[in-house]
Amino acid sequence: MLTKPQKRLLRVGVPVAVLAYFAPVLVAVFVVAGLVDVSRHKRWDLELLSRYFAGNGILTWLLAPLNILFDLVSYSRPYRLRLEDFPEEERAEIDGVLEIFKTRREEILADLRHRMAGKKRGMLFYKWYGKDVDGAVPEFNADYRYVKTIGVSVFNSKEKTSLHFGPLRLTIRLLYNLSPRETENIFIEVNGEKHFWHDDPLFIFDDTIQHRSVNDEDGERFCVFVDVLRPSALTRFQNVCVRIANALLSGVNRVFYKNWAMLTQKG
């Protein structure tokens, strides 16, 4: 009897084997790139490989050659960063965005609660891949050089995501919890390690690494997410790539967040 991970790999392995007959070099490039990409995880097992190559990581796998290119133009490639790892100018932009959230916290939380209206899991974008999406906080509609996505995710009671992979390593994900509580039942798990928000409301990581977010308590969890360019000497090239990504992906963020309610502005 085949296990679920084995079934996943079989469903993808058969068509890949057929494709390899007609385009062996192309398939070899993607397989090798995928193996290099997934090797960044601390622990390999059949479940991880099946999720990456045949589950919700397929898009990450298909983008692996491009993501490896972004690795090559970046200064460093750890899966976790600290604010001090960013150049001064980029850190100033990040600090400015976080300061807006801190200063207008109560106003933002009230707006989010209004938009949620009983939904289980909600996602609000102020900016997405450099494009202004929501004008509720006009300061977020500034023209940033490094900050590319600004939003907030909201979990209601007892909500969590499954283990998943972000698709594109052009940027790195910064999370800031607006409502940290002294509990170990609210956390983010990345690469098998849990980060508890009561220890530090700020967490910066490579979201193409397998991760999940958990709110296993009663009450809401509000978490800011900001995507910023990875520190690099080729910022202009990165910004061109952001514009291309925006053109290709604009209007389809619902595909990436199909299990979330999009918290569009209410009248």
- For residues 223 and 178, is the Cβ–Cβ distance under 8 A? yes
Q: Is 2 helix (H, G, I), strand (E, B) or coil?
A: coil
The DSSP code sequence of 208-221 is TS-EEEEE-SSS-E
- For residues 68 and 35, is the Cβ–Cβ distance under 8 A? no
Q: Residues 37, 94: one domain? A: no
Name the domain boundary from 62, 91, 112: 62
Q: Which CATH number does the domain housing residue 92 bear?
A: 2.60.120.330
Q: Residues 44, 160: one domain? A: no
- 75 within a domain of the structure (yes/no): no
Residue 10 CA to residue 3 CA, distance in Å, equals: 11
- 224 within a domain of the structure (yes/no): yes
Q: Which residues contact 40 (CB under 8 A, 6 or more apart)?
A: 77, 79, 206, 209
Q: Which domain holds residue 21?
A: 4-62
Which of 54, 137, 69 minimizes the C-alpha distance to 102?
137
Q: Residues 13, 87: one domain? A: no
- 192 within a domain of the structure (yes/no): yes
**Backbone φ and ψ of 177, nearest 5°:** -80, 125
CA 9, distance to chain mean position in Å, is 24
Q: Is 169 helix (H, G, I), strand (E, B) or coil?
A: coil
Query: Residue 83: left (phi > 0), alpha (psi -120 to 50), or beta?
Result: alpha
Residue 128 CA to residue 151 CA, distance in Å, equals: 8
Q: Residues 129, 241: one domain? A: yes
Q: Residues 101, 192: one domain? A: yes
Q: Residues 151, 234: one domain? A: yes
Decide: pTM greater than 0.85. yes
Residue 96 CA to residue 101 CA, distance in Å, equals: 9
Which of 42, 43, 39, 66 minimizes the C-alpha distance to 53?
39
Strand order in the sheet with 186-190: 159-160, 211-215, 186-190, 193-196
**Backbone φ and ψ of 54, nearest 5°:** -140, 5
Q: Residues 122, 58: one domain? A: no
Q: Structural domain tally of the chain?
A: 2
Name the domain boundary from 20, 36, 62: 62
**Confidence (pLDDT) at 253:** 61
Per-residue pLDDT of the chain (267 residues), as tens digits, is 778 888 888 888 888 888 988 999 999 999 999 999 999 999 899 999 999 999 999 999 999 999 999 999 998 778 899 999 999 999 999 999 999 999 999 999 999 999 998 899 999 999 999 999 999 999 999 999 999 999 999 999 999 999 999 999 999 999 999 999 999 999 999 999 999 999 999 999 999 999 999 999 999 999 999 999 999 989 999 999 999 988 887 665 666 677 889 897 653
- 70 within a domain of the structure (yes/no): no
**Confidence (pLDDT) at 267:** 39
Q: Residues 50, 136: one domain? A: no
Q: Residues 208, 147: one domain? A: yes
Q: Residues 34, 161: one domain? A: no
- 57 within a domain of the structure (yes/no): yes
